[in-house]
Amino acid sequence: MSPSISVLPVVMAGGSGTRLWPLSRAGFPKQFLVLSGNRSLFQQAVARLAALGDNDIAIGDPLVVGNEEHRFLVLDQLREARVSPRALLLEPVGRNTAPALTLAALQALEDGQDPVLVVSPADQTVTDPEAFTRSLQKAIRLAAQGSIAILGVTPDRPETGYGYIRSTPGEGADRVAQFVEKPDEATAQRYIAEGDYSWNSGMFVLKASVWLEALRHFQPAMVEATEKAWAARAVDAQFVRPGKAEFAAVPSDSVDYAVMERCPGSKFDICMVSLAAGWNDLGAWDAVWQVAEKDADGNAKVGDVMMHDSQNTLVHASSRLVSVVGLKDVVVVETADAVMVADRAHSQEVKKIVGQLGAAERHEHTLHRKVYRPWGWYDSIDAGPRFQVKRIMVKPGATLSLQMHHHRAEHWIVVTGTAEVTCGDKKILLSENQSTYIPLGQTHRLANPGKVDLEIIEVQSGSYLGEDDIVRFEDTYGRTG
């Protein structure tokens, strides 16, 4: 018997993960980090949804909703996982999750079918995949009958960092009675004691047509504005870009506020399926400590770490030795350009530091010292007055943009691989230990024609060395203009 329920996984990958700074940053947010296991959170989410197939459930290729800046991160991680996406929907500006899901629903209906959408954030983890699969398959079958199915996590502690769902027993599944905001400690303890509250996982399952009908009922202006942006979309291979100006005019709201919280007592059937699968949304460093492997003293460590006389502490070292003595219930996170130390109980407040960095117009909240680009990466290893040194890696077959700079000259030294250098009207090949000079104002380009990674050292000199001193004339990745 062929499967009768067509399912389209929808992975929401547009978050910024500010509470996991300094590891998570706007240019490389937490969903693309490896925080548990050996795959990124995004890759784990894609794999979990791909495993939901059954005799009556057919799982399609995933639909990913993200933003323009992360498009090559998404594509590279999908390729690494050997997954071909149905499409990558790129939001030109952030409009929260309700418009993002509306784009996914409109894409899902393009081929004339009305699949069940299994909607999951890209930044969660579970420790019991089999229990996860059972709960999601139950939700899929309910959604195939027209219901909206929410996944509610069975709480094991009075957590103040999550929203809650109050439910009542019902036939086939619990009925959602109320959504409630993140509580204070006393209220969270009361929720646990009463027993009819679950954590809101942010995962829900429903048909594409049901979402659009519910949104049109509760938020008609949002549907109309999103449909205008969808009508103005541009398609570039797997990338689908809604109209920028039209999407900027879409009202911003979350799925919960726009629709889910309004469904109880309405004409829309909304139910809750319990999820007891070791779920965690890794929303703060305390949550990362909770799921990490710990020693006998409750300590968790990643990287080159030495600890003495410490308990229930997380230390994450990225680029050097980090040693701690006499700490209890503390988080220490080190990267090449920042160190963050926090009481575990206050780890939710790390986002306030990110806000201060943004207000001060500092780059540390946006980019790491090592910055990934569609062609490879660069690492700013040293800088001073009128000079900067970068280590640059270019993937085989990749090409940087044809560009020039108004304020700096550059020296390139090849460390490994072969470099194809365009400088003005000349084109040369350089191998290991060879170098070249790019004068200020000269049009130039770097490419890797070989089959191994190209690494060079770039020494910049000039009066201004910012990344915005780049004039692009041609670019493989659509970044000109």
Closest CA to 391 of 366, 371, 417: 371
Amino acid in position 241: R
Selection from 359, 318, 370 nearest residue 340 by Cα: 318
Pick the CATH number of 370-474 from 2.60.120.10, 4.10.320.10, 2.30.130.10, 1.10.10.10: 2.60.120.10
Q: Is 354 exposed, middle or buried (0-12, 13-18, 19+ CB in 10 A)?
A: buried
Q: Is 238 exposed, middle or buried (0-12, 13-18, 19+ CB in 10 A)?
A: middle
The residues near 419 (Cβ < 8 Å, ≥ 6 apart) are 394, 412, 429, 430, 431, 446, 447, 448, 454, 456
Average pLDDT over residues 201-223: 96
Q: How many CB atoms lie within 10 A of CB 204?
A: 26
Predicted TM-score of the model (pTM): 0.88
Query: Where do you find CATH 2.60.120.10 in the chain?
Result: 370-474
Q: Residue 334: what pLDDT?
A: 97
Residue 2's pLDDT is 67
pLDDT digits (tens, 9 = 90+) for 415-461: 999 999 999 999 999 999 999 999 999 999 999 999 999 999 999 99
CA–CA distances in Å: residue 394 to residues 28, 230, 444, 452, 455: 18, 35, 15, 9, 6
Mean pLDDT, to the nearest integer, of 51-76?
Answer: 92
What share of the chain in percent tops pLDDT 70?
A: 99
Tens-place pLDDT, residues 369-428: 888 888 999 999 998 999 999 999 999 999 999 999 999 999 999 999 999 999 999 999
pLDDT at 1 over 80: no
pLDDT at residue number 480:
61
pLDDT above 60: residue 481: no
The per-residue DSSP string of 401-415 comes to PEEE-SSEEEEEEEE
What does the pLDDT look like over 145-192, one tens digit per residue? 999 999 999 998 888 888 999 999 988 889 999 999 889 889 999 999
- At 21-32, the pLDDT tens digits run 999 998 889 999
- pLDDT for position 16: 78
**Cα separations (Å) of 115 from 62, 65, 112?**
12, 17, 10
- Per-residue model confidence (pLDDT) at position 199: 94
Query: What's the CA gap between 226 and 232, in Å, rounded?
Result: 10
Give CA–CA dist 242/102, Å, rounded.
Answer: 11
Q: What is the pLDDT of residue 390?
A: 95
Segment 264-322, tens digit of pLDDT = 989 999 999 999 999 998 889 999 999 899 999 999 999 999 999 999 999 999 999 99
**Strands 376-384 and 370-373, bridge-based pairing:** antiparallel
Question: What fold, for 5-275?
Answer: Spore Coat Polysaccharide Biosynthesis Protein SpsA; Chain A (3.90.550)
**Average pLDDT over the chain, rounded to whole?**
93
CA distance 305 to 301: 7
Cα angle at 40 between 122 and 48, to 5 degrees? 55
In this prediction, residue 172 carries a pLDDT of: 80
pLDDT at 461: 95
Q: What is the location of CATH 3.90.550.10 in the chain?
A: 5-275
